[in-house]
Amino acid sequence: MPLDHPVSRDDQALRAQVAQLNATLRHHSATDVLRAAFDAVPDLALVSSFGAESVALLHLTAMVNRDVPVLFIDTEMLFAETLVYQQEVAERLGLRNLRIIRGDAIRNLDPDGTLHQRDTDACCALRKTQPLQLALQQQGGWITGRKRFQSGQRADLEFFEVEAGTTRIKVNPLAYWQPGDVADYIAENRLPRHPMVAQGYPSIGCAPCTSPVTAGEDPRAGRWRNSDKDECGIHFVNGKAIRTGAPS
């Protein structure tokens, strides 16, 4: 992957560490990956939307470390059901370090809450991407729920990767999970589902930009419907958003 800047000795060491972790853990479970991540990555955080599938990764992580910082971005446009679900899941799993992240510039740049009607990318940046990037400056790495099957661009996703343009490590414990694995895990562990899943919302974001999905549609068809946008902008390569779907 081409870089926009020369590879320093620190960059080389970080990439060597990531390569070694991937080689060692290639055939291991998500739980093994999480244990290794907490040992290898300082100041590791978990970023969660508390969406349709989030509870699986939250449960796996809580079994390893309930003190992990869990970063939840409140865009101030989420469904009320998501806010209630976030509180219920955090209590149920005993998450002891939940951090609610909100954008500081929302009042100035989108005072009437209509930015999403004019520019969805700018709204996502204001309410989600920029607040998260600011919060992650304090972290050495972060845990995501991305999976290889979600798109062609994720087909080569590894358990560990260096976040482009930073010295942070991204950890993807569910990288090798297959479609259906998350639902099976939730059912087997009797974890609470987001209440809107039963209402036809297999992927849940902000209320103005999320709609129900009908039978036969792609699970993410209800995100930014009738537009070519399908990514909130959290995941980047070489400074550009990867349009492969939001994290769980």
Q: Measured at the alpha carbon of residue 60, what is the angle toward residues 64 and 88, in degrees to the nearest 5?
A: 105
Helix H or strand E encompassing 100: strand 98-101
Q: Find out whether 212 and 222 touch, Cβ atoms under 8 Å.
A: yes
Q: Find out whether 204 and 82 touch, Cβ atoms under 8 Å.
A: yes
**3-state secondary structure at position 61:** helix
* Known catalytic membership, residue 209: no
Q: Measured at the alpha carbon of residue 49, what is the angle toward residues 43 and 50, in degrees to the nearest 5?
A: 105
One of 123, 124, 209, 232 is an active-site residue; which one? Answer: 232
Helix H or strand E encompassing 45: strand 44-47
Question: Computed over its alpha carbons, how large is the radius of gyration of the chain?
Answer: 18
For residue 116, count CB atoms less than 10 angstroms from its CB and return exposed for 0-12, middle for 13-18, buried for 19 or more: buried
Question: Which residues does the annotation mark as catalytic?
Answer: 232
